[in-house]
Amino acid sequence: MKYLFEISAELIKELEAFGLSNDEARIVSILLNSTKTLTSNELAEMTEFQKHQLYTILSKLEKQKIIKQVSFKPKKFFSDQITFNESITLLEQQIENERNAFKETSDTNLVSFYQLLGFDLDQKRVHEYLLDHPATRNDLIRKMDFLTYEKARNITDFLINKNYSRKISSKGKSILYIGIPLKEIMKNKMDSLNIELSEKKNRVENIINLIEFRKDERSGNREIETQILNSNEEINKKISQTLIRTTNIKSSLFLENDENYSYWTKFVKNELKKTIESVESGKKFQWLVDKTFLKIFVEFENDLIEKIIKLKHKFQLRVTNKTLPSMMIFDNQEVLEISSTGTYLEKGIFVFDDEYTDIKIADFDTIWEDSSDIQQLVGEMLDEKKLIYFMGQNIIFKQIPTINIALLGDKGVGKTSLVKRFLTSKFDPNLNYTLGILVDDTLIKLPKRSFSNIEQMKLMIFDFGGQQLFKEAYVNQLEDKRGIGLIFSLNDPESLDNLESWIDLIGKEELDKKSVVLIGTKSDLTIKVDQDQLWDFRKKYRIENYFETSAVNGKNVHKVFEELAEQLSYTIHENEIFN
């Protein structure tokens, strides 16, 4: 290992006791000891990890809130006492969710109980039998026709390891098993989670005591000053106090993963009304929101929608497919970050630091540039009555053209990873193979170099699963796809050869009528495809546009979709856009 500073064995031990693997603990210890944020390339240089391995570790640690990504270009990571406290908050939320799930599952719905506890059907049947009939494995095999000895062994091992069953005595040389009642299992599970939470809190204290949080380059050689806000009242009070002395506010609000629609409808309406009052008193706002917000917004009263649209020079609302921590930036000087665990405005961190704020501003502005004005998106979602009302108010909505594209290629070449990287700017190493067709939609802005009069379009991305058995069913699904992405893996020459069979589904003449991009994936791995073979393929099918990409490091991912969008923009007829 090429560490630039000494890594404490005691710190590694505490991090492992916290629940991290040795590899994860080593990465976190580097970030804890570092005097600055570190890029993934810097972390790769400081360790022996391969990039795939490193990205998997960073992705998992980020989900657990143990590390935080603080910029996009390039990605930088850090870990400190705040991130560890956020990981504790996340665990508390998970425990509360499990507790609520147990409460909502009634005694009469035993199937739901078993599902919550992770039982499959055979494990459930064995457990139910053992509740009333203590038995050996041989007894179970005699009583239950579906059991072999190996299956009986696996199920009893599962029940013992999960503490869903006990060994109560011996019967000759055989072990006797008895099932533990469900209510006792649930109580034990909650007790275990609470003990885990308590132990993790103690470990966090030990970790914080072990590490000297040095003066950080990010904060100009001084400690970052923060204020933890632990309630809705505290956060609202802080916002009100800060707004008094603030003129320009950047704000992001993302609701994508929350299903509490009625709560968010009430919350969003209240926040919009408060923001309108602030705008009318001289403030200027930039709001970044997601598509869930948009769905809520179009259901509001006409006068509220109208007011926001007419205030657009002082209150700009933009919709994005990307994700950003929910936060407020005041006059480009101070940042309020809202925890993504728990209810919005329930927990927050107010940060007073110039460099930290600059990082957040850069992240916000990067996404802002690629986002879409809400007025451009509202029109296609309004019902006829609302459209007639707004026409009467001289508010016209411009239609955004929608184009269907298909991604074709063998199973495992990385089609879904490519799409997810494009939509989220993150690599997910745990994606499963796509079965059938996976559909995503996204708004994309045309590159500034484009000569088209189209500024942006909606891409409907059809990710066709690569299994052979689905191919015949795909023929009719390809007719309305104007854009085609032909995808192969750069470390699998056979996947390039197999694109011939995918082209046969479309037909060479039909392919010539479509916008086509050839995409080689996994450029971060060893390239095994012969360049002459590649050139012959492109020449045969007259494919001009070719990109080598990597979903792991993001190489050329955005360029692929920008190129397709630009090609497609020249095929859009005037009657597909109206004012």
Lowest mean pLDDT among 17-26, 47-56, 219-228: 219-228
Confidence of residue 287 (pLDDT cuts 50, 70, 90): very high
359 pLDDT more than 50: yes
Report the predicted TM-score, pTM, of the whole model to 2 decimal places: 0.58
| Per-residue pLDDT, 487 | 94
Which pLDDT value is given to residue 204?
A: 79
Residue 552's pLDDT is what?
83
pLDDT at 573: 60
Q: Which run of H or of E encompasses 329?
A: strand 327-330
Residue with tokens 């007419």: 310
Span 231-258, mean pLDDT?
82
Q: Is the pLDDT of residue 120 over 50?
A: yes
**Which pLDDT score is estimated for 108?**
52
Q: Over 80: is that where the pLDDT of 528 sits?
A: yes
Q: What is the CATH number of domain 402-576?
A: 3.40.50.300
In this structure, what is the dihedral angle of CA atoms 400, 402, 408, 412, given to the nearest 10 degrees?
Answer: 60
Q: How many CB atoms lie within 10 A of CB 245?
A: 9
Report d(CA 579, CA 577) in Å as an integer: 7
Highest mean pLDDT among 45-49, 198-202, 285-289: 285-289
Q: Are strands 402-408 and 483-489 parallel, antiparallel or unpaired?
A: parallel
Amino acid in position 414: G
Q: Considering only 17-21, 36-40, 336-340, which range has the smallest mean pLDDT? A: 336-340
110-183 and 402-576 share one fold: no
3-state secondary structure of 567: helix
Residue ranges per domain, the chain?
110-183, 225-397, 402-576
> What secondary structure, in 3-state letters, does 47-110 show?
CCCCHHHHHHHHHHHHHCCCCEEEEECCEEEECCHHHHHHHHHHHHHHHHHHHHHHHHCCCCCH
pLDDT: which is higher, 5 or 404: 404
Domain 225-397 class in CATH:
alpha beta
pLDDT at 345: 63
Q: What is the b/e burial string over 377-408, where b = at least 16 CB atoms within 10 angstroms of the residue's CB?
A: bbbeebeeebbebbeeeebebeebbebbbbbb
Phi-psi region of 431 (alpha: psi -120 to 50; beta: other; left: phi over 0): beta
Residue 213 predicted with pLDDT over 80: no
Query: CA nearest 444: which of 487, 397, 405?
Result: 405
Average pLDDT over residues 254-282: 80
Average pLDDT over residues 352-374: 82
Q: Which two tokens stand for residue 495?
A: 């996947």
Residue range 110-183 in CATH 3.40.50.620? no
Mean pLDDT of all residues in 270-291: 90
Whole-angstrom Cα distance, residue 548 to residue 115?
43
Q: Cβ(462)–Cβ(477) under 8 Å?
A: yes
Q: What is the mean pLDDT of the chain?
A: 81
Lowest mean pLDDT: which of 233-242, 377-386, 443-452, 461-470? 443-452
Average pLDDT over residues 458-462: 89
* Per-residue pLDDT at 266: 85
Q: Kindly give, in sequence order, each residue whose CB lies less than 8 Å from that of residue 33, ignoring residues fewer than 6 positions away.
A: 5, 7, 211
Which of 468, 466, 514, 513 lies closest to 488, judged by CA?
Answer: 466
Q: What is the mean pLDDT of residues 4-22?
A: 75
Please state, for a pLDDT cut of 90, what percent of the chain lies above it. Answer: 19
| Selected residue with higher pLDDT from 536 and 112 | 536
Give the range with max mean pLDDT: 120-134, 161-175, 263-277, 374-388. Answer: 120-134
**What does the alpha-carbon distance between residue 87 and residue 534 come to, in Å, rounded to a whole number?**
47
For tokens 């360790």, what's the residue?
Answer: 47
